[in-house]
Structures are given as structure tokens and as C-alpha cells.
Amino acid sequence: MARKKLIAANWKMYKNPTQTEEFFRAFLPLVFEHNRDEIVVCPPYVDLQAALESAKGSQIAVGAQDVYWKDEGAFTGEISSAMLVAVACTHVIVGHSERRQYFGETDDTVNLKLKSALEHGLTPIVCVGEVLEEREAGLTEDVLRRQCLRAFNALSAKKAAKLVIAYEPVWAIGTGKTATPQMASDVHQLIRGEAAKAFGEEFAAQLRILYGGSVKPENASALMSEEEIDGALVGGASLDAKSFAAIVKY
């Protein structure tokens, strides 16, 4: 069975509820009845309600950009998977490189967050990827193997059924530099191999692996036509309705 592509918007720390409504007012008509791929918008937490209301009745799903692994408790500032489900979020980004770089996210917290999201029925989009120094030192494969191994720790194929991976070479995020379709494809094969080791060949064959890192309307088509690339995680270019719609319709 062919893997349905997933095109996800990561708005990072941009837009308030009013701007979220404005985005959807412009975006929805542009992608009306465009059902080829799955589309998800991940705004900041305070915009989730506005996004969910705006997307109601459309094919667009709404996700969060992070999650905490406990269900509730004295964890000031955190949001749990149970809370995301309660407001009708269906997806969540886990382990984005900006969380790893600025907020102390580790391979182990990624694993805890991933397990929590899966237990609550969310679709986790787990980000992995090497930084420039690692690529230049020839460590890309080692880094990705370690990130996958640790993220998949203590999970079964059954529990991980909804897992989505996003390969995001950190040197390509927000820099205008994109991995070539071939570079991305090579890493996607490696990730699929790690998933096969952890969960079996059948699981790996169905696993969706997105590419992220300066995806734009101009390069989306070349990237999406690679057999190994099952969609995109889009930052900067997802903030503008026209540009995100152009990517969705690559």
C-alpha cells in the first residue's frame, strides 16, 4: 500500500489567534477539496483553539509543537498529551531541533514524549537530524542511528503504529539551504532501516518519513517526487497561506 504523504506546518513562535484566523480564511479556499495528502497545521498553544475552530469542517488537522510526558501535575508551563486530546488536537511535533538546541530536549525526553503521545492516540511527528559539524565530520549516520534507537526505546510496533518521523538536517532549517532530494532520500533509507530493526520490515515499509529544512514552493515538487520522501515539515514557508498552499499542491 502506498504511503499517504503528510504536509505539516510548523509555525514556531509566530502568529496570535487573530492572525491564525486570518491565515485559515486565506488558506482554506486555496486547498478546497485537496485531499491527495494529509495536511496538518501546528501553531503555538495559544492559537490551537482558533485553528481548530477555523479548520472545522475542512480536511486540515491541527497539532501542537511540543508536549510534556506526564498527564498532569505540578509542572508549571507544560501541556500534556491528555490536554491536547481534550481540545481535539490530533498531531504533535516531538524533539524539534530548536527544542533540542535551546530547551534541553534530549534523546531520552524525546522517547518519553513520544510514548506519551502514542499512548493518548496522538500522531507524533518525531524530528531527527544532524547539525552541520556532525555532517562535516562524517557523523550523520551515527547521529541518526543514535537518535532513532533512543527515540524507539521500549516501544512495540503495535504501540508505535501512528509514528511519523521528520528528517530535518539542522543546517537546512531556516537557512535557505536544502538537502538535495538524493541526500534526503539516502538518510530516509537509513531511518527506515533503523525502524525495521526496532519494529520489523512490515512496520518500516509503512512508516512515513517527512523531510524538513527550507522547503519552499520552488523545491517542494522535486523533494516530494522522491519515492523515499513521504511529505514535508515546513517552517518559514508555512506562515503565508499562498506559499503553504503552493507547497501542499506541489
- Taking the complex as a whole, how short is the minimal distance between the CB of residue 235 and ligand PEP, in angstroms? 2
- Cα angle value 148/151/152 (rounded, 5°): 85
- Contact between residue 6 and residue 230 where contact means Cβ atoms under 8 Å apart: yes
Q: Which of residues 122-181 bind ligand PEP (CB under 6 A)?
A: 168, 173-174
Q: Which helix (DSSP H) or strand (DSSP E) does residue 211 occupy? A: strand 208-212
Go through the chain and tell me how many residues it has: 250
Per CB under 6 A, the list member of 95, 124, 129, 236 interacting with ligand PEP is 236
- Taking the complex as a whole, how short is the minimal distance between the CB of residue 196 and ligand PEP, in angstroms? 25
Tell me the catalytic residues: 96, 168
Does 230 contact ligand PEP by CB under 6 A? no
Distance CA 78, CA 68 (A): 6
Does 235 contact ligand PEP by CB under 6 A? yes
Compute the 3-state secondary structure of the chain and give helix, strand, coil in percent, each to the nearest 5. Answer: 45, 15, 40
Does 233 contact ligand PEP by CB under 6 A? yes
Q: At what angle do helices 181-199 and 217-224 cross, to 10 degrees?
A: 50
Give 154: exposed, middle or buried? Use CB within 10 Å, 0-12, 13-18, 19+: exposed
- Taking the complex as a whole, how short is the minimal distance between the CB of residue 245 and ligand PEP, in angstroms? 15
Among 59, 90, 61, 84, which Cα is nearest to 71's? 84
- Cα angle value 44/47/233 (rounded, 5°): 45
Give the residue with the Cβ less far from ligand PEP, 61 or 234.
234
- Taking the complex as a whole, how short is the minimal distance between the CB of residue 73 and ligand PEP, in angstroms? 29
Give the residue with the Cβ less far from ligand PEP, 29 or 174.
174
- Taking the complex as a whole, how short is the minimal distance between the CB of residue 132 and ligand PEP, in angstroms? 14
Per CB under 6 A, which region of 29-37, 52-60, 134-142, 210-218 contacts ligand PEP? 210-218
Give the residue with the Cβ less far from ligand PEP, 171 or 199.
171
Binding site for ligand PEP (CB under 6 A): 10, 12, 168, 173-174, 212-215, 233-237
